[in-house]
Chain A
Amino acid sequence: MEASSHAAHLHDVHEAHHEHEMSFWQKYIFSTDHKVIGVQYGVTALLFLLFGFSLMMMMRWQLAYPQQPIPVVGGLLQKMLGAEMVADKILENGAKIPGVMSADLYNAFGAMHGTIMVFLAIVPLAFAAFGNLIVPLQIGAVDMAFPRVNMVSYQSYFIGGAIMLASFFVPGGAARSGWTSYSPLATLADRSHLFNGQTFWIIGMVFLITSSLLGAVNFIATIIQLRAPGMTWMRLPFFVWAQFVTAFLLLLAFPPLEAAAVMQLADNLVGTSFFLPSGLVVSGTPVPVSGGGSPLLWQHLFWFLGHPEVYVLILPGMGMVAEIIANNTRKPIWGYKSLVYSVLAIGFLSFIVWAHHMYLTGMGTKISTFFQTTTMIISIPSVIILTCLFISLWGGSIRFNTPMLFSLAFLPMFGIGGLTGLPLGFNFSDLHLHDTYYVIAHFHYVVAPGTIFALFAGIYYWYPKVTGRFMSEFWGKVHFWLSLIFMNLIFQPMFAQGMAGLNRRMADGGATYAESDSVIGFAPAILKANVGISHAAWLLGVAQLPFIINFFVSIAKGRRVESDNPWGATTLEWQTPTPPPHGNFTKPIEVHRGPYEYSVPGHAADFTPQNAPESLHKA
């Protein structure tokens, strides 16, 4: 007893000095603090975002100038990936210029661009980084419900990312069957290597799925259990609602992909035929498998995740935009309840629309009709959300700061992305548009100038809370206007290319189509557009430099915040010290009102924090 009480005493002493005693590793690498984990997620995901974009910039070279060596990085690329993947261009005088991208490498880059952007960049940034940083603060919690699970979740994500990156260097190169990894293509693409890029892809995915599942459980439990006293469901900021629904989507949609991944792994390594039909012949030789499997099964399982995943990508962005719009119009969000019910409706409906990705598989007209109907229905709550956000602007005296500019741009950009999805949701028009550049333009409008703009808005908006300094407004605006212009220059022409019938997965950007012009019959301008689009893509890359420099320089040199609540916001994350300490709140917090009490008549200030005491009403 004596010894144990002594130990307990020592333990208490240790606790008291906890903050000082933590080593670098405990504090920044193996931290269980939700804010540190949020920053870890954020920085890692931003790096993956840049990496995924770099892959695309190289692919855009191949599309604009097929079979020409990639300038600047061509030689380096050949050194890293080998001459098999990156060939030499032999000039007339015999000189060799390295850097010609092979079709295999183009396919690998395409598959990995999609995988990295969706699973390693946007979801971790929108859901995990912002969720970790903001959600516990906004609900008035001390931390996440399961801090150690939270840490493991980030580590699992990190390992998954490392495996994905390593896959570029395994013999045969990275996965090259699209980010959807359709079977049997994915199983048959590289049979000469057992542990090929596809196998790495699957194992990497298993880690990423595990990470998302742990995160989802943690977020839902946190939001249910750790809301501060008085924080009722209808007082939750809309961002928390969006994250709550997103977490449910991840929780319930990812496991089927995990099952599918296990089955595809078995197909690749053990020789099963889950997704391999009978009588498969490749290059004239029968494939030695039992057959009897179903390629459609993979597509069903993949899109059962894949479609909810689309809403995982967009809902957190919508939540951030709602917060920023309310804050910068200085008035409550219009239709808070409609927003909440719409986001719940989207959550439910997103589970029964998946097969609208599969109209061309021959699964039958009755099934197509069902999914076409549900697809049209799910557009209703999406439109309600967008409409509410638009109406919220009405009559506000808007502050046009950088976060607000990005949020305002989000609305029409997401609108374009959403509306151009309708022709894809109808199966008769999808027959023509399926797998063309139209599809690329459509979903990039949703995710790139849509979600990514919302993420930029969130970064500019919450940066002062995390660092105690603002990012530069001037360079923020430069970043915004250039990004807006180049985003549109990239994706608008793709609608035209797609409607003209340009297929999306061609390693030469449709150069082979040009030969059969009489058959396909599209104008040379459609192919020429590739050159313009590529230049816009590279300029978009240049336009990110102000952001990257601004992001790092502002940590030390940015303008200091004068108060803990520099934007004059109502939600709880601004009612803590800056940056918030371990445990978040210096005194117990109690919530007395809804999240958007801006410009309440009779109040002295034009914002009333959620935790301001009741008596304020009478003042």
Chain B
Amino acid sequence: MEIPYTVSPRPDTGLFNAKVGIWLFLASEVMLFGALFSSYILLRVGATAWPHGLLNVPIGTFNTAVLITSSITMVLAWANMKMGNPGRSRLYLGITVLCGFAFLGVKSKEYYDKFVHYEVRLVDGTVMDGHIKPSPDFKINKFKAESGTIVVEAENVLKANPGESMADAKDRLPAKERYHHGHEEREVKASDIRWISNYTPKHSPYFAIYFTLTGLHALHVFGGMIVLGYFWFQNRTMGRTQTERYTNRLEVGGLFWHFVDLVWIFLFPVLYLL
């Protein structure tokens, strides 16, 4: 038994099976990310204040460029198969996967920077953000510091109303009322802290949706790298013996890769710029 149209296209639809499959899969992916983007809109519209400027735009721009480059090399890998240059195809496919590594590497660094960055709200209404010096006293349980004193290397210090968040205060206060020091070291007693959290998903709906969107996207990049990496090895075997079938595979894998790239093209302005 052989299933028809696995390699050659069906005449009336002009498509081979996997191409129909991948487009349908991408349609469901559009709905998946669409739901998350809609959630982003709903959360942002419903928020009292939405944080700005917490993400590093130049780094984000660099990552955007990396992904666009990878999309170009992906097309070149496929086109070179079509033109009968499997060797060059292999090279371009390799570059595509390396771009994926670069993207994820940069993204990990960005995540790490957020994990070590804290927002501290004091009982008297002062809010500050920055790194916290390592200390044995320092332990957080449910937005409360446990005991002792911590040293905050504060980047911003604002006088807000008690209970207000950094974003709330920034939204409300005129610019001149904000301190902005390089690294002002502040000693804070745990008992003075009303609320403390690093920039992790639990910090706020902003970081929750940021990490969910970019995390899911990073998973997609990772999945794409595994598949394309597998194709890179197959180039020497199936790529030489069953060229048409292998080229179809590259096309299908490439469609997925372009989709993942496209998602980032939406993610970047939505999260970094708006």
Q: Is the CB of A274 closer than 8 A to any CB of chain B?
A: yes
Residues of B within 8 A of A266 (CB): 201, 208, 212
> Which chain B residues in 199-220 approach chain A with CB under 8 Å?
200-205, 208-209, 212, 216
Residue in A145, A290, A293 whose beta carbon sits within 8 Å of that of B203 in the complex: A290
| Contact indicator A255/B205 (Cβ below 8 Å) | no
| Contact indicator B29/A255 (Cβ below 8 Å) | yes
| Contact indicator B3/A213 (Cβ below 8 Å) | no
Contact bitstring A280-300, B, C-beta under 8 A = 1, else 0: 000000001110111011001
Contact bitstring A258-296, B, C-beta under 8 A = 1, else 0: 111011001000111110000000000000111011101
Q: Is the CB of B83 closer than 8 A to any CB of chain A?
A: no
Residue in B13, B43, B47 whose beta carbon sits within 8 Å of that of A224 in the complex: B13
Q: Is the CB of B64 closer than 8 A to any CB of chain A?
A: no
Q: Which stretch from B31-39, B110-118, B148-156 is at the chain A interface?
A: B31-39
Q: Is the CB of A254 closer than 8 A to any CB of chain B?
A: yes
> Which chain B residues in 142-163 approach chain A with CB under 8 Å?
142-144
| Contact indicator B1/A142 (Cβ below 8 Å) | yes
Residue in B21, B27, B35 whose beta carbon sits within 8 Å of that of A256 in the complex: B35
Residue in B25, B29, B34, B201 whose beta carbon sits within 8 Å of that of A271 in the complex: B201
Q: Is the CB of A97 closer than 8 A to any CB of chain B?
A: no
| Contact indicator B43/A225 (Cβ below 8 Å) | no
Known interface pairs A142-B1, A225-B5. Does A294 touch B43 (Cβ–Cβ under 8 Å)? yes
Contact bitstring B252-272, A, C-beta under 8 A = 1, else 0: 000000000000000000000
| Contact indicator B47/A292 (Cβ below 8 Å) | yes
Q: Is the CB of A216 closer than 8 A to any CB of chain B?
A: yes
| Contact indicator A290/B197 (Cβ below 8 Å) | yes
Give chain B nearest CB distance to A303 CB in angstroms: 12
Residue in B1, B197, B200 whose beta carbon sits within 8 Å of that of A582 in the complex: B1
| Contact indicator A260/B202 (Cβ below 8 Å) | no
Q: Is the CB of A143 closer than 8 A to any CB of chain B?
A: yes
- CA gap between A272 and B43 in the complex, in Å: 13
Known interface pairs A289-B202, A297-B42. Does A221 touch B20 (Cβ–Cβ under 8 Å)? yes
| Contact indicator B21/A255 (Cβ below 8 Å) | no
Residue in B27, B142, B212 whose beta carbon sits within 8 Å of that of A252 in the complex: B27
Band of interface residues on A: 35 or more
Residues of B within 8 A of A288 (CB): 142-144
| Contact indicator B28/A142 (Cβ below 8 Å) | no
| Contact indicator B35/A304 (Cβ below 8 Å) | yes
Residues of A within 8 A of B216 (CB): 262
Known interface pairs A263-B39, A270-B201. Does A256 touch B34 (Cβ–Cβ under 8 Å)? yes
Q: Is the CB of B46 closer than 8 A to any CB of chain A?
A: yes
Query: How many interface contacts (CB-CB < 8 Å) are there between A and B?
Result: 132
Residues of B within 8 A of A224 (CB): 13, 15, 20
- CA gap between A216 and B42 in the complex, in Å: 29
With both beta carbons as reference points, the residue of chain B lying nearest to A4 in the complex is identified as B241
Residues of A within 8 A of B205 (CB): 272-274, 290, 292-293
- CA gap between A583 and B31 in the complex, in Å: 35
With both beta carbons as reference points, the residue of chain B lying nearest to A301 in the complex is identified as B35
With both beta carbons as reference points, the residue of chain A lying nearest to B31 in the complex is identified as A255
- CA gap between A288 and B205 in the complex, in Å: 14
| Contact indicator B3/A226 (Cβ below 8 Å) | yes
Give chain B nearest CB distance to A372 CB in angstroms: 21
Q: Is the CB of B80 closer than 8 A to any CB of chain A?
A: no
Residues of B within 8 A of A582 (CB): 1
Residue in A145, A258, A297 whose beta carbon sits within 8 Å of that of B17 in the complex: A145
- CA gap between A216 and B28 in the complex, in Å: 10
- CA gap between A262 and B204 in the complex, in Å: 16
Residues of A within 8 A of B212 (CB): 262-263, 266
Residues of B within 8 A of A271 (CB): 201-202
- CA gap between A447 and B1 in the complex, in Å: 38
Residues of B within 8 A of A304 (CB): 35
Give chain A nearest CB distance to B264 CB in angstroms: 17
Footprint of A on B, CB under 8 Å?
A: 1-5, 10, 13, 15, 17-18, 20-21, 24-25, 27-29, 31-36, 38-39, 42-43, 46-48, 142-144, 197, 200-205, 208-209, 212, 216
A-B CB contact pairs (8 Å), 27 listed: A146-B17, A147-B3, A217-B25, A218-B21, A221-B17, A221-B21, A224-B13, A252-B28, A254-B31, A255-B29, A255-B35, A259-B36, A260-B35, A270-B202, A271-B201, A273-B208, A274-B43, A274-B208, A288-B142, A288-B144, A290-B204, A292-B43, A292-B46, A294-B43, A294-B46, A297-B39, A304-B35
Footprint of B on A, CB under 8 Å?
A: 142-143, 145-147, 149, 213, 216-218, 220-221, 224-226, 251-256, 258-260, 262-263, 266, 270-274, 288-290, 292-294, 296-297, 300-301, 304, 582-583
> Which 7 residue pairs spanning A and B have beta carbons closest together?
A256-B35, A583-B1, A255-B32, A288-B142, A271-B202, A259-B35, A255-B31
